[in-house]
Chain A
Amino acid sequence: MSFQVQSQDFIARSKDALADAPLQSALGKLRTGLSVRRREAVAALPEFDALREEAAALRDYTLATLDQQLETFEAQVRARGGEVHWAPDAASARAIILELCQRYGAKKVLKGKSMVTEELELNEHLEAHGLRCVETDLGEYIVQLRRERPSHIVAPAIHLRKEDVAESFAAHHVGREHADRSTAEALMAEAREELRAHFLSAEVGITGANFAIAETGSTVIVTNEGNGDLTQSLPKVHIAVTGIEKVVPTLEDASTLLRVLARSATGQEASVYTTFSTGPRRPEDPDGPEAYHVVLVDNGRSAMLGTEFEAMLRCIRCGACLNHCPVYGQVGGHAYGSVYPGPMGAVLTPQLAGLDESVHLPTASTFCGACEAVCPVKIPLPSLLRRWRQRAHEARLDGDRARWLLRLWAFFAARPRLYHPLLSAATTVLGRLAGPGGTFRRLLGGKAWTESRNFPAPEGGSFLASLQGEEFAPTPRKAPSR
């Protein structure tokens, strides 16, 4: 497989994350920040739900005509003087991009924020061939200095505190021994100065693309910083790297998707810079790149078409499912061991890296449904996660303990005459045994639960019994003592 992950260690990494106080304080800001801003932006647009409906249908239409859309896009890029390259997998994408950098004699390469190039591990590849890669998005720049991976697809440095950023700047920025690094403002001003020098001295700029418009052969990027624009306007070459699924048919379609993207990602009505790039600079233009290349990356995407996971290809990488996921909110992005974390990552990673490499990720969900409820293109994420769990079970990847317990439960559940009396007896006994407040502080085999909270005891009677008309008789409760 050409997509490297460290998702085998999900359980160990999650435990570390839960015990990491600075990380927990950083994640706390995510839980109260982006989701609140999104809710306010959605409330201000009465048509938001109708637009989500349209966006989902539009993505499905595009995927069903993907071959035509890609061919139209390619023809339009060529007609306007650009080149299109097709990369079936990560290795071919890396080779194409390296060859382009070498063709133009590049020594320094600027990077706009791009998740697909993270997926390709492009920086490592280019650096192994003697090129200097500089990430220009502030968050990406910080994690690059720290030799880390982004922990969020939209906010790469969400796991860090400003003290961590100050430490990294002190370690890497030369000649700034007395810099004030006590505030976020000072840190950003310092990064602005450092990066400006890089902007003015690179030969190639690489960006991703939020969308590729078939009608005009344009690639679209959406940023708040302006780093993507400097990245693609100052160097003599602009390379836009994007997944084959990012194509949209027309300019109006882009308008619809941009409306739901900005609100879902950061709660903005519109991002600060939405940039449509079409071909290289025109002969009369005073600036802009002399060459424009688009690299279309498959890397496992076409294999999702026509399968039960096709809906995942609708994804526009807004990050709303991460921001609203109770699991992501507790463990952060690095625990997932994949550049795509959270609910969207838990569906995508098994597809791109193999289920045997990432079997824990689909289980890292409470199925609360928040991800599906906020998804701007209505991807049924919990259903897709459930399908991966089913596949893991079929492939015997879910572990002996889980399989044994499931088999035990199935044995009883298939025998109602045995199941009901046993269940009824168990609820009565557990109800009587419960401590103050009708809860257990400790429970045999339930340590993972009771370590952090009490386990509620059954209140007597079963759902089936009350359905059949038996009187529902709660077990008498002792007064809570805490």
Chain B
Amino acid sequence: MRDGGRAQILGAVRRALKARTAPARPTHLVPQRARLQAPELRALFVAQAEGAGAKVQSVPNDVALAEALTALAAAHGGVPVVAPASPLAKLPWGASAPALRPVASGDALAVSTAVAGLAETGSLALASGPENPVLSAFLPEHHAVVLPASALLGPSEDLWAFLREQAGAEGLVFPRTLHWITGPSRSGDIEMTMLFGAHGPLSLTILIQEDR
């Protein structure tokens, strides 16, 4: 049965399509909205992300970034949880050390880094890997994401183009999980009332790291 399933389905599809010539592929349209230059692109990203319920703040340097993360975690009664392999582990944390370990359920704040910000929708793109565990984005009560200002892109097509540029001989190098995150977790399943913090974090803070 199981080995036959493939032949059965593909056979049925081929019989149904017979010798049909495929219609032309449609021209790919990218909305104009995010075709912008730097300052306007940044303004669009911030407006869209805030519109989706995220908080956005700018951090001028690494010291300010470490301070902002410590303050955020303290506001929720904890210290920032940072993956040991993350470059954020090497921030100048000063006297306030973060927790360098995998995130656990109930942690006050975990920190991720974004590979890109998509201005069209105010979304963050996160690629899973040692520096960026998937669960940092889902298990903590609150989530902070560091986005380098230079990683601001327009539409998601820019992200695909970026990944294609990096493609090696074996084709696209794709992470196990690629996330677009647009605002904090929510649900409208009870009487269509939209509420934050369904299963994932109750809040999302984006820290835009200015170019050094």
Which of A's residues lie within 8 Å of B, judged by CB?
26, 29-30, 33-34, 45-47, 50-51, 53-54, 57-58, 60-61, 64-67, 70-71, 80, 85-88, 92, 95-96, 136-139, 142, 155-158, 160-162, 165, 184-185, 187-189, 192, 195-196, 199-200, 215-216, 218, 224-227, 229-230, 233-234, 244, 249, 251-253, 255-256, 258-259, 266, 268-282, 284-288, 296, 298, 302-303, 305-307
Which residue in chain B gives the minimum CB-CB distance to A251?
Answer: B160
If A165-B190, A225-B186, A225-B198 touch, whether A80 touches B128 (CB-CB below 8 Å) is: no
Per the bound structure, the CA–CA distance linking A65 and B10 in Å amounts to 11
Interface stretch (choices B55-63, B67-75, B132-140): B132-140
Contact partner, A188, options B28, B130, B157, B187, Cβ 8 Å: B187
Contact partner, B179, options A189, A200, A229, Cβ 8 Å: A229
Contact partner, A195, options B22, B27, B121, B199, Cβ 8 Å: B199
**Shortest Cβ distance from residue B22 to the other chain A in the assembled complex, whole angstroms:** 4
Q: Are the C-beta atoms of B189 and A255 separated by less than 8 Å?
A: no
Residues of the B chain whose Cβ atoms lie less than 8 Å from the Cβ of A253: 28
Closest 9 CB pairs of A and B: A226-B200, A225-B198, A305-B16, A139-B189, A86-B5, A57-B26, A270-B121, A302-B12, A306-B16
Q: Is the interface of B mostly helix, strand, loop or mixed?
A: loop
Q: Are the C-beta atoms of A302 and B191 separated by less than 8 Å?
A: no
Which residue in chain B gives the minimum CB-CB distance to A306?
Answer: B16
Per the bound structure, the CA–CA distance linking A47 and B6 in Å amounts to 39
Q: Are the C-beta atoms of A277 and B177 separated by less than 8 Å?
A: yes
Q: Are the C-beta atoms of A158 and B12 separated by less than 8 Å?
A: no
Contact partner, B12, options A53, A187, A298, Cβ 8 Å: A298
**Shortest Cβ distance from residue B160 to the other chain A in the assembled complex, whole angstroms:** 4
Q: Are the C-beta atoms of B176 and A64 separated by less than 8 Å?
A: no
**Which of B123, B133, B177 gathers the greatest number of chain A CB atoms within 10 Å?**
B177
Residues of the B chain whose Cβ atoms lie less than 8 Å from the Cβ of A188: 187, 190, 195, 197-198
Q: Are the C-beta atoms of B13 and A244 separated by less than 8 Å?
A: yes
Residues of the A chain whose Cβ atoms lie less than 8 Å from the Cβ of B13: 66-67, 70, 244, 302, 305
Q: Are the C-beta atoms of A87 and B5 separated by less than 8 Å?
A: yes
If A45-B33, A225-B185 touch, whether A276 touches B178 (CB-CB below 8 Å) is: yes
The reply on B193 being an interface residue by CB < 8 A is yes
Residues of the A chain whose Cβ atoms lie less than 8 Å from the Cβ of B182: 268-274
Per the bound structure, the CA–CA distance linking A360 and B176 in Å amounts to 45
B 168-212 binary contact with A (CB < 8 Å = 1; else 0): 000010111111111111111111110101111100000000000
Residues of the A chain whose Cβ atoms lie less than 8 Å from the Cβ of B163: 251
**Shortest Cβ distance from residue A263 to the other chain B in the assembled complex, whole angstroms:** 11
**Shortest Cβ distance from residue A3 to the other chain B in the assembled complex, whole angstroms:** 17
Q: Are the C-beta atoms of A58 and B135 separated by less than 8 Å?
A: no
Which residue in chain B gives the minimum CB-CB distance to A298?
Answer: B9
Residues of the A chain whose Cβ atoms lie less than 8 Å from the Cβ of B177: 229, 233, 275-278, 288
Q: Are the C-beta atoms of A269 and B191 separated by less than 8 Å?
A: no
Contact partner, B195, options A184, A229, A255, Cβ 8 Å: A184
Residues of the B chain whose Cβ atoms lie less than 8 Å from the Cβ of A271: 182
Per the bound structure, the CA–CA distance linking A196 and B200 in Å amounts to 10
Residues of the B chain whose Cβ atoms lie less than 8 Å from the Cβ of A161: 191
Q: How many A-B residue pairs have CB under 8 A?
A: 268
Q: Are the C-beta atoms of A286 and B102 separated by less than 8 Å?
A: yes
Contact partner, B192, options A51, A70, A158, A259, Cβ 8 Å: A158
Contact partner, A244, options B9, B17, B52, B184, Cβ 8 Å: B9
Per the bound structure, the CA–CA distance linking A87 and B8 in Å amounts to 9
Which residue in chain A gives the minimum CB-CB distance to B177?
Answer: A277
Residues of the B chain whose Cβ atoms lie less than 8 Å from the Cβ of A184: 190-191, 193, 195
The reply on B90 being an interface residue by CB < 8 A is no
Per the bound structure, the CA–CA distance linking A162 and B193 in Å amounts to 10
Residues of the A chain whose Cβ atoms lie less than 8 Å from the Cβ of B6: 86
The reply on B156 being an interface residue by CB < 8 A is yes
Contact partner, A157, options B48, B52, B176, B190, Cβ 8 Å: B190
**Shortest Cβ distance from residue B173 to the other chain A in the assembled complex, whole angstroms:** 10
Q: Are the C-beta atoms of A138 and B190 separated by less than 8 Å?
A: yes
Q: Are the C-beta atoms of A50 and B5 separated by less than 8 Å?
A: no
Which residue in chain B gives the minimum CB-CB distance to A55?
Answer: B26
**Shortest Cβ distance from residue A245 to the other chain B in the assembled complex, whole angstroms:** 10
